[in-house]
Amino acid sequence: MASAVLVFVPQTPVSSNYQMFTRRILTSLVLLLPFFVAGAAEAEIKVGTVDMNRVFKEYSKTKDAEAKINEAKNAAKKEYDERADAYKKALDEISKINAQLEAPALSPEAKAQKAKARDEKIANIKNMEREINEFRQTREQQLQQQMQRMHEGILKEITDVVMEHVKSNSLDLVFDKSGASLNRFSPILFSRDRGDFTADVIATLNKTPGPASPNPSKSSDGPNP
């Protein structure tokens, strides 16, 4: 309810200076009236705060998702190392053949055979190099997509719980305390704990099974190099 503003206007004749002063006062009050009304309306708005960054970190599914991603990363690294080792061995074999070709006692026929074998290995190693690069790019892209899917799924579950709290408590505004401005300061510089429901959201999420997060191991492996 807006606060009433009472203005006393004298009924007796007054000087022109006083009339001008009164008009200025009335004009100022009229201009300030919307701010009084807005201030009264804001007093009725229910505001809540939640630390979305803390909720995300303390949600059990976030840790599970990180473990699955790390498992997929380790598997990809193991396969990459195996391919890299095979590539290095192929390079060593070519180096050995080149050393043999420099031997003066080697017959022309033997030299031709070894040169042919070396050229075949060189062609093969070029294919290996291409396959290794394709493997690395494919796995990196797959891991990025898996992380994005998991991240989006977890954020949706968190948002759903936040919105349930908003509805059950009839909140009008909810601010994310972890959101940083351009100056890297949170837009919420201060808030009383009574309006913060971060702990409630974390408790609800961790006791509710909810839908399972996507499993990286079930995604397609892409082209097999």
Per-residue pLDDT of the chain (225 residues; tens, 9 = 90+): 443 333 333 444 444 444 454 445 444 544 554 554 455 455 577 888 888 888 999 999 999 999 999 999 999 999 999 999 999 999 999 999 998 888 888 888 988 998 999 999 999 999 999 999 999 999 999 999 999 999 999 989 998 999 999 888 888 888 888 876 555 555 665 555 667 788 888 899 898 655 544 444 444 444 344
* pLDDT at residue number 213: 47
Q: At which residue do the structure tokens 């890299």 appear?
A: 84
pLDDT of residue 119: 93
| Spatial distance between the Cα atoms of 54 and 46, rounded to a whole number of angstroms | 22
Cα–Cα separations (whole angstroms), residue 146 to 16, 26, 53: 78, 65, 20
76 alpha carbon, distance to own chain's centre: 22
Backbone dihedral region of 211: left (phi > 0), alpha (psi from -120 to 50 degrees) or beta? beta
Stated as kind and residue range, the H or E segment containing 28 is helix 16-42
pLDDT at 65: 92
